Amino acid sequence: MMPNIIQYPVALFAALQSGLVVVNVNPLYTPRELEHQLKDSGAETIIIVANFAITLEKVIAQTKIKNVIVTQLGDMLGFPKSLIVNTVVKYVKKMVPAYSIPNTVNFMSALAQGANSSFSRVITNQSDIAFLQYTGGTTGVSKGAILSHGNIVANMLQARCVD
């Protein structure tokens, strides 16, 4: 549940290399929309920007979410810029509503822990699910569209052919 920040591609590629299915979540979802998507997808882990954690707090008890990884907007900007951005966003602009979700893991701590662990690459094939991408829900509740690794490769090859 992230906007376009550097943490998104880091988390995305880590999930795909680990053989997980990525379920993109719009950070502007209402609690009702978030609850539907989390229940429908069966997601057990979410990576979320602290600015939107209040929405998750309202619905987490009704979902299968077991792991919550929280990041702040400036986390990957390097010191001191990360400290400045995170301080301004939270305390000056007051863009991070107070929330309480027990046992969250800090994104940067998760990266550090992963860097100190061994990794066994998961072998995937073209028919394995890469993404469960939800539709806009313009005709009712949003629905998950399955995108395989093969679908993503074909899309990249199409993009490469465009002049």
Q: Count CB neighbours of 100 within 10 A.
A: 8
Q: Is 130 helix (H, G, I), strand (E, B) or coil?
A: strand
In angstroms, rounded to a whole number, what is the distance separating the alpha carbons of residues 67 and 51? 18
Q: Residue 139 pLDDT > 80, yes or no?
A: no
Domains, the chain, with CATH or none: 7-122 (3.40.50.980)
Q: CB under 8 Å to 34, separation ≥6 — which residues?
A: 1, 25, 55, 56, 59
Output the CA torsion 76→81→83→89 (10° steps). -90
In angstroms, rounded to a whole number, what is the distance separating the alpha carbons of residues 101 and 9? 24
Q: Residue 141 pLDDT > 90, yes or no?
A: no
Convert the pLDDT of each residue in 61-106 to its tens digit.
Answer: 999 999 999 999 999 999 999 999 999 999 999 999 999 999 999 9
**Can you read off the two tokens belonging to residue 136?**
């806009």
Convert the pLDDT of each residue in 116-131 to its tens digit.
Answer: 999 888 999 999 999 9
Spatial CA neighbour of 76 closest among 17, 8, 1, 3: 8
Residue 30 has a pLDDT of: 95
What global pTM score does this model have?
Answer: 0.92
Q: CB under 8 Å to 5, separation ≥6 — which residues?
A: 49, 71, 73, 76
